[in-house]
Amino acid sequence: MKKIILTGDRPTGCLHIGHYIGSLQNRVKLQNDYETFIMSADIQALTDNFDNPEKVRKNVFETILDNIAVGLDPKNVTFFIQSQIPELTELFTYYLNLVSVARLERNPTVKTELSQKDFGEGVPAGFLCYPVSQAADITAFKAEVVPVGEDQKPMIEQTNEIVRKFNRIYKTDVLKECEAYLSETPRLRGTDGNAKMGKSLGNCIYIKEDKDEIIRKVNSMFTDPNHIKVNDPGQVEGNVVFAYLDVFDKNKDEVAKLKEQYQKGGLGDTILKKRLADILISELEPLQKRRKEYENNMDEVYRIIKAGTEKARERAAQTLSEVRRAIGVDYFG
Ligand code: TRP
C-alpha cells in the first residue's frame, strides 16, 4: 500500500510562485509515489476571514485550479473541501482537550501571524486553535508526509505532539506521526524584498499572473538602491532580482557571470529584469494553459471536487470510528 500525503491550502487568494516552489512542485513530484489528498482549508481560512465568506468561497475553486495548473493530476489526486467533512471538526474537538492554551500561544507561526494582523476586538478562539484543526486534517487521513512551506513546520510539530498524547492517553496506536516535506529551495522573498511572499502583503506574483503584470511586477522589484548608473558597481546580496534568478534561471553558469559583471559595474537593472520576466513568463505559460482548459470546463472541476470530497469523507469516517472506539464514545456500536 502506498503511503499517504495530505496537504492543503487556505483559500484566501490565488496561489503564487512562492507556493509553487515551496510546496506545489513537491506535490507534483510525489503524486505518483504516494496516495495524495489535497484539501481546500476553507474552515481554516474562515478563522481570520469569518466576515468575508464570499472571498473564501471563491478562492476554494481558484486554489484548486492552481493545483491542477501546476500539474497535479485529478485522476490520481483526491481534491476535497475541509468544511464538507464533519468528521474533521469532530476530531478537532477531541484534540482541543489535549492542547494547552499556553502551547497554542507559543506556536511561532501563529505568533507571527498575530503580529501582522489587526484583530480589533480580540483574537478569535478559532484562529488561535487552527493548528489543532490542522492536526485533525492530517491525522484523519493517517498521512505520513505533508509537503508544505517551511512556515508550516511548527504545525507538524504540534500535530505530532497531539498524536503522541492521544495514543498514550487512550492506549492506542490509531494515530500516525507525520513529517513535513520541505522544499530545498530557500523561501522566495516578496517582490518588495520582504522575507515572505504573502497574499496579504501585496508582493506576490501569482501562478495565473498575465504577462504584462509579470513584467510590471518584475520592473518594480527592489535591486540595489546605490546602483544608479549602469557603470556603478552593484550589490548582489539582498538584490531581489538575483534572488529570483537563483531560483528560476536554469542556466546557473550564466547567473554566476551576471553576478560578477553586476558587482564590477556595467550591467544595468533593465537587462536583468528583462531576463527574469522572460524566464517567469515561459515557466508559467504551460501552467496557465492547463489552468485555462479547466477554467473553461468548471462543471468538470465541480465533479472532481465533489467526488474527491466523497472519497475523503469515507476515509476520515474510517479513522473517526477507530478514534471513537479508542476514547470510548462509540455508544451504539
Ligand atoms: N496552514 C496551511 C497554509 O496556510 C493550510 C493547511 C490547512 C494545511 N490544513 C492543512 C497544510 C493540513 C497541510 C496540512 O498553507
85 CB near ligand 1 (under 6 Å): no
Ligand 1 midpoint to CA 241 (Å): 29
Ligand 1 midpoint to CA 17 (Å): 17
Ligand 1 midpoint to CA 234 (Å): 39
In this predicted model, what pLDDT tens digit does every residue of 69-83 receive, in sequence order?
A: 999 999 999 999 999
Q: What is the pLDDT of residue 163?
A: 98
Point out the ligand 1 atom lying closest to the alpha carbon of residue 149. 15
Closest CA to 144 of 175, 174, 178: 178
pLDDT over 90 percentage in the chain? 90
Q: What is the pLDDT of residue 333?
A: 80
In this predicted model, what pLDDT tens digit does every residue of 108-127 receive, in sequence order?
A: 999 999 998 889 889 999 99
In this predicted model, what pLDDT tens digit does every residue of 36-88 receive, in sequence order?
A: 999 999 999 999 999 999 999 999 999 999 999 999 999 999 999 999 999 99
With 90 as the cut, is the pLDDT of residue 215 above it?
Answer: yes
8 CB near ligand 1 (under 6 Å): yes
pLDDT tier for residue 167 given thresholds of 50, 70 and 90? very high
Nearest C-alpha to atom 6 of ligand 1 is from which residue?
A: 8
Instruction: Give φ, ψ of 19 to 5 degrees.
Output: -60, -40
DSSP class of residue 149? Answer: -
Closest CA to 56 of 69, 67, 43: 43
Q: What is the pLDDT of residue 196?
A: 86
In this predicted model, what pLDDT tens digit does every residue of 220-274 receive, in sequence order?
A: 998 998 898 999 999 999 999 999 999 999 999 999 999 999 999 999 999 999 9
Better pLDDT: 4 or 228:
4
Decide: 77 and 36 in contact? Cβ < 8 Å. Answer: yes
Ligand 1 midpoint to CA 92 (Å): 14
Ligand 1 midpoint to CA 109 (Å): 12
Better pLDDT: 198 or 94:
94
Instruction: Give φ, ψ of 229 to 5 degrees.
Output: -95, 150
Ligand 1 midpoint to CA 106 (Å): 18
d(CA 303, CA 298): 9
9 CB near ligand 1 (under 6 Å): yes
Which cell numbers hold the place of 142?
493517517
d(CA 69, CA 98): 38
User: Among 155, 183, 204, which is best to mutate for testing ligand 1, by the most ligand atoms less than 8 A from CB?
Assistant: 155
Point out the ligand 1 atom lying closest to the alpha carbon of residue 19. 15
Burial of 11 (0-12, 13-18, 19+ CB in 10 A): buried
Which cell numbers hold the place of 49?
476571514
pLDDT tier for residue 284 given thresholds of 50, 70 and 90? very high
Ligand 1 midpoint to CA 317 (Å): 20
d(CA 137, CA 39): 9
Decide: 168 and 316 in contact? Cβ < 8 Å. Answer: no
Beta strands 35-40; 145-147: pairing state: unpaired
Decide: 195 and 189 in contact? Cβ < 8 Å. Answer: yes
User: Among 4, 5, 6, 9, which is best to mutate for testing ligand 1, by the most ligand atoms less than 8 A from CB?
Assistant: 9
Angle at 323 between CA 322 and CA 325, to 5 degrees: 65
137 CB near ligand 1 (under 6 Å): yes
The residue to which cell 474527491 is assigned: 308
pTM score above 0.85: yes
d(CA 11, CA 317): 24
In this predicted model, what pLDDT tens digit does every residue of 130-155 receive, in sequence order?
A: 999 999 999 999 999 999 988 899 99
pLDDT tier for residue 307 given thresholds of 50, 70 and 90? very high
Q: What is the pLDDT of residue 186?
A: 81
Torsion sign (Cα): 140, 145, 150, 156? positive
Q: What is the pLDDT of residue 120?
A: 85
44 CB near ligand 1 (under 6 Å): yes
